Every structure is written in C-alpha cells, then in structure tokens.
Structure 1
Amino acid sequence: MGHDIVRLHHVGHIVEDMAQAITLYERLGFRVPPPSCPAIPRHEGGEPEPFGTGNTHADFPHSFLELVAWIQDGATDRLPDDTRIVPLQAPAEVLPELVERIRETSANVAERLEAFQGLHILMFSSPDIRSAAARLSDAGVRHGGVNTVRRPSDTSDGVTTVRYLEIDDAPDAGPGAVTEGRVGVVAELDPDIQRAGLLDHPNGAVDLVDCVLCVADTELVATERRYEARLGRTARQDGPARVFELDDAALALVPASRLDELLPGERPAALPAFVACTVAVRDLDRTEALLRRNGLPVRTTPSGDLFVPAEAALGAAIAFRQAGIGDTART
C-alpha cells in the first residue's frame, strides 16, 4: 500500500519586501514571475478585495519555492507595482469559512514575519488528500479539513482547483498553524499547469528535495513523534539529523546543538524553525559558478551540497544538490 504523502509540495519563505526577495532569488539563479495577490469578496455579492498574502513561486515540475509577503488590511505596499490581482472563486455557501481560514493564515504569516524573515511554511504533496485527511484524523492529528479553492489559470478551461489542509495540532499554536509555522498537505500539482511555468532556471534547479527543521535538543523526540503521525512514516538517523524519507524528498530534524554539523556556520533565528531547504540542480559546478558570479557567499556541507547562508538570503539557508538520474528524468 502506497503512502498518502509522497514529496515536498512547497516551502514558503516569508519576507518583508517582495521586490528585494525577488531580486535575491534571481541572483540565486531562479526564474521568478511577478507576484500575485489574491482577492476575495468579504461577503456574498461584494467586490473582490486584496486579502491575505501576496506571493510568487520559483516553479519546478513537481514542487516549488514560494515567496510570501503579508498584506495588512488590504494594503499592497509590500508588493511590487507589477503584482497581479487574482480573484479567488468559491461557492457562496463556503465563502465565510474560506475567508476566516485565509484570515487566520494571514494572521499567522504576520506573526511569523514579526519574529524573523525566513522559512515558515512547509506543505507536503499528496496523491489522495482526502485519504490523507482521514488518516491524520485517525492518528489524532488535528487539522482544519480539506479546503477547496478555484483560481484562474492557463489551462483549457481557464480555472484550476487547489485542495489543501492545514495542520493545527500544536497546543501552543493557533488555528492553521503549528509551533514551527504553517504545515499542511496539498493535492499533487497538475503537470500541465507546471509545464506552463518558468521551469528553465539559470541555476539548473529541477526539484525541491529537502527541508531542515531545527529544534531544541529537549524537543527532538517529541517533534519526531509528531511528524511520524503527520507523515505516516518513521525517521532514520543520518549524521546529526533524524530524517524522514519521502518518495522523492526528505524532511530532516536536527537538534540545535548539532545544526553546525549539518550546515556549517548556521544558527537558528528561533526554535523551532525551518532553517534551510535544498533544491536539486542539473550541474552543481555550474550552479556554484553562477552563485559566485552573482556575488553570493557559498558554503559546502559535509555531504557535498552547496548552500548560501541565511545571513545572505533573507533568513533562510538555500542549498543546492547534484540531481540524480531520477531527478533529471522527471523534468
């Protein structure tokens, strides 16, 4: 029987200045389109208004990196002038609940940004999100249920449907959040939609393959148990980290006292925190040359990955790994 969570869907990098973040990601070698800002009627029959967060993606065939900026009371001053306003579509009977969920998520983003810029969002990908939701409930993992939103797209019918759930099983976190940020599950990306994106990144990136969660040493065992329930998998020891292997990616849990062994020179801005993510690239040597050409500091991990430290990348270490044959074949 297959797993209902198979890979990393995306990580979210929450930033103060979207224009600055886009410039950084372009220097990192990613192609990043203009950001979009959702708009939704606050009540039935109302006009769509900017709401929640503005975002953009560095897309890959099966995953993406997300840049997120908070929109305060409909203001878009944190977003570039070329930001696209995108009305969301939802049935009238679910609109109030959807608005409330977005409001809760937005409040969580604002709270996280106040703490520090960096990775605060981790979403996993599921081929059967309703089965995943049922398993989570059976395992005692509290979540908000499967939400469905429709938004304009470049597909034949002009609309794409997104189904997702947010986990909120941490006792000291609010709805739609856990202690380390926003964590959830999203239905797998539509390959046709992904192929329409900007996939030819100058750095050769082809997939999101790893995320690192740093926790207090005393919280490592409890955190591992929570993720065992969330992922339906067990972790293995790999150097300083406890690693959950997915089908095409991994989540690494590392105690704060050993983070330097995994990512030399890195220090968490808070605990717990997602401190790094890794993308697979076609040619690691060419990626390194591009990073150095663009004036970015580059460090090497004990396993041979390259990474730009968090202090140079708006609070998140961005790592690069040589893609394997399977990684490049999927592009």
Structure 2
Amino acid sequence: MTVLGLHHVGHVVRDMSKAVERYGMLGFTLPPAAYPVLPPTPGAPAEPFGVANTHAYFPGNFIELVTLVGGEATGRMPVDARPIPLRVPDDRLPAIVAAIRDTTANMAACLNRFEGMHILMLDTDDVGSDAERLAAEGVGHGGVHAVQRPVETPQGTRMEPVRFLEIDGTAPGSVAEGRVGLAENAASEPGAHPNGAVGLVECVLCVDDAQMPETEARYSRYLGIAARSEGAARVFDLRDAAVTLVGASDLGSLLPGERAPALPGFVAYTVATRDADATERFLRDRGVALGRTAKGEIFVPADAALGVAIVFRG
C-alpha cells in the first residue's frame, strides 16, 4: 500500500481575512496568506489573480485555507497578505492564465455549492505507482504533475517540490464532492498551535444513503483497501489516518446536530491534539461553542467554523 494518510484537506472560504481570524481564534497558527500576482496579458500591470492560500502546518500534513482572487473574490485581502509574483515568459503567459482560470472556476464552483471543505489530497510515497494502479482500476486521472510549493521555515520561505495527481470524475480534476487526489512530500515546518493540534488524522465524507455502496466502492479503488464498519459509518484505515463515509441520515449519530450542506460533501476533519482536556479548556475559555461526537470527542460545529466541523482527538 502506498497511500499512507492525509496529505492535506482544503477549506474553501469566501473571505480570507475572516477565515484567518476564525482559525486564529480556534488556536491554529497560520502564516500570512499568499496571493499570486500575474499580468493577465503581456505588458499589462501585474495584479492578484487565481486563488490564494495559507496553511496550518503539522509535521506530516496540513490544513489549507483557499480563497478566490480577483474578479471572482468576495472578501478583502488581508493587510499582511504576501504577494507572490508569478514570472512567466510572454509566450507561455496565455496558457498559464488559461490553466489558472480553470483552477479558479473549479474553486468558484465549490463555493457555489457551499463554503467549507472541498479538497482531499491523500498522502502517498509513490504517486507514479498509484497512477498506474488507478488506471488499472479504471479510475480516470490527469496524470502526475510536479510543482513547487512554498514552505515556511524559521529561515524564511523555501520552495519544496511536490508530485501529485487529481482524480477525474464529474470533470477533469474533480469528483462530485470536490477535488480529490494523491500527493507526495507533505514535509513542512510544523506550527506551534496554541490549541495543541499536532496532526491531521481523519476526514468525513457524507453522501446520500442510496449512494453509500457506490461511494465506498469508489474510495476503495482510490485507496487500494477495503473499508470496515464502525456503527453506521464505513471507515478506510490508512497507516496514519482514516477516511470515513457516512450516509446523510446517519450523520447526526456521528456528529450530533450536524447536517450536510450538500451531498456528497466533506463535512468534517479531525486533528490530533497533545492533550484533549487542555484543548477543550482553551476553546471554552475563548467562548467557542463545542459539540461532542458519538465517541465523546469535542468538535467545533460547522456553523462556527465556516462550513466544516473540526473534531479534536486526544
């Protein structure tokens, strides 16, 4: 098995300033958001363009906050945002602009469904082998791509290579629930999070009850393993994390009070903490409304966390 755990989840938000403030209130440490800057045509002034992001880093994975930039954006740019100039030769600029517009359209479609979690990237140690395995299973994907991503270190930002693929379903690079794929190299400098969070360990996908068998079969092909039963849920156990599927009628038994904003949809993710009691005290001291899962773990409801429930596991 090459799928090891969760590389990252992506929380797509309308207003980056509001999202950074909310995550800070919940005790996550994030660097200033990176905003790409690019001339839309040769010789034109550079302007914010595409999508912007920031991350809550853990030792082996991260949470990504993503927002739209430019004409599709609805929120303001944070005052400490980092402009990231994209230097592209004039002859390649039209193709790059078109590719960025495709990505932006994908994220805009996600926001049109709901503000919340729309991205799941699975961690693998060999994305090339997984590409071959997926193709053999009849799973369409866009092939393996290599890019550079910024990683924050005490010495400043460095660019790290990452290889990834995106699974094709309802459209290139997307499936019904959003953007799902596999990626290598989630190495990063972990943040010191006041809430005690130390890693990303689970994501929860909610589907129409009638679609549970098809979705389970689909994720079994993505992950290369079978699921097990846990109450009403179906759980794929990876080495370092889990992907949990639950039918809409059973979501309340897993996360009391929660409802899926759209189906299928990612409704929650779980982070491990050093000390669950300390995390609960920290959040309650900040006046954060908390629920409790069927397992007894605390969680921040989706309506208090911009569309996705956040579970804290000790």
TM-score above 0.5, yes or no: yes
Match for residue 238 of structure 1? 230
2: distance between equivalents of 1:40 and 1:143? 28
Match for residue 175 of structure 2? 178
How far did residue 306 of structure 1 move?
Answer: 0.8
Query: In structure 2, which of residues 78, 83, 87 is the aligned counterpart of residue 85 of structure 1?
Result: 83
Match for residue 163 of structure 1? 163
Q: Secondary structure at the match of 2:269?
A: strand
Count of equivalent residues: 312
2: distance between equivalents of 1:280 and 1:152? 24
How far did residue 93 of structure 1 move?
Answer: 9.6
RMSD over aligned CA atoms reads: 2.5
User: 8 Å contact 1:35–1:83 — kept in the other structure?
Assistant: yes
Query: In structure 2, which of residues 65, 68, 71 is the aligned counterpart of residue 70 of structure 1?
Result: 68
Amino acid in the other structure paired with 2:196: G
Match for residue 309 of structure 2? 317
2: distance between equivalents of 1:123 and 1:209? 13
CA distance 1:24–1:163, change in 2 (3 Å): same
How far did residue 114 of structure 1 move?
Answer: 1.8
1:24 aligns with 2:22: yes
Deviates more, 1:140-149 or 1:70-79: 70-79
Amino acid in the other structure paired with 2:180: V
How far did residue 71 of structure 1 move?
Answer: 1.4
How far did residue 316 of structure 1 move?
Answer: 0.7
User: 8 Å contact 2:33–2:53 — kept in the other structure?
Assistant: yes
Amino acid in the other structure paired with 1:111: A
Query: In structure 2, which of residues 283, 289, 299 is the aligned counterpart of residue 291 of structure 1?
Result: 283
2: distance between equivalents of 1:152 and 1:211? 24
User: 8 Å contact 1:86–1:152 — kept in the other structure?
Assistant: no
Q: Secondary structure at the match of 1:33?
A: coil
TM-score after normalising by structure 1 = 0.86
Q: Secondary structure at the match of 2:31?
A: coil
1:258-299 deviation line (CA, Å, top 9, x unaligned): 001100110110100000000000000010011111111111
Amino acid in the other structure paired with 2:207: V
1: distance between equivalents of 2:262 and 2:110? 11
1: distance between equivalents of 2:303 and 2:143? 37
User: 8 Å contact 1:89–1:150 — kept in the other structure?
Assistant: no
Q: Secondary structure at the match of 2:60?
A: coil
1:8-61 deviation line (CA, Å, top 9, x unaligned): 011111111111111111111111111002345667898765332111111100
How far did residue 158 of structure 1 move?
Answer: 4.5
CA distance 1:101–1:164, change in 2 (3 Å): farther
Deviates more, 1:152-161 or 1:275-284: 152-161
Q: Secondary structure at the match of 1:6?
A: strand
Amino acid in the other structure paired with 2:127: I
Match for residue 52 of structure 1? 50
User: 8 Å contact 1:54–1:79 — kept in the other structure?
Assistant: no
How far did residue 90 of structure 1 move?
Answer: 7.8
User: 8 Å contact 2:196–2:279 — kept in the other structure?
Assistant: yes
How far did residue 100 of structure 1 move?
Answer: 4.0
1:207-229 deviation line (CA, Å, top 9, x unaligned): 00000000000000001111111
Q: Secondary structure at the match of 1:214?
A: strand
1: distance between equivalents of 2:74 and 2:82? 11
TM-score after normalising by structure 2 = 0.91
1:54-101 deviation line (CA, Å, top 9, x unaligned): 111111001111111111348795321211122357899987665544
1: distance between equivalents of 2:38 and 2:130? 28
Match for residue 326 of structure 1? none
2: distance between equivalents of 1:78 and 1:243? 39
Task: Give unpaired runs (5+ residues) of structure 1.
Answer: 323-331
Query: In structure 1, which of residues 247, 260, 267 is the aligned counterpart of residue 259 of structure 2?
Result: 267
Amino acid in the other structure paired with 2:142: G
Amino acid in the other structure paired with 1:210: E
Amino acid in the other structure paired with 1:252: T
Identity of aligned residues (%): 51
Task: Give unpaired runs (5+ residues) of structure 2.
Answer: none
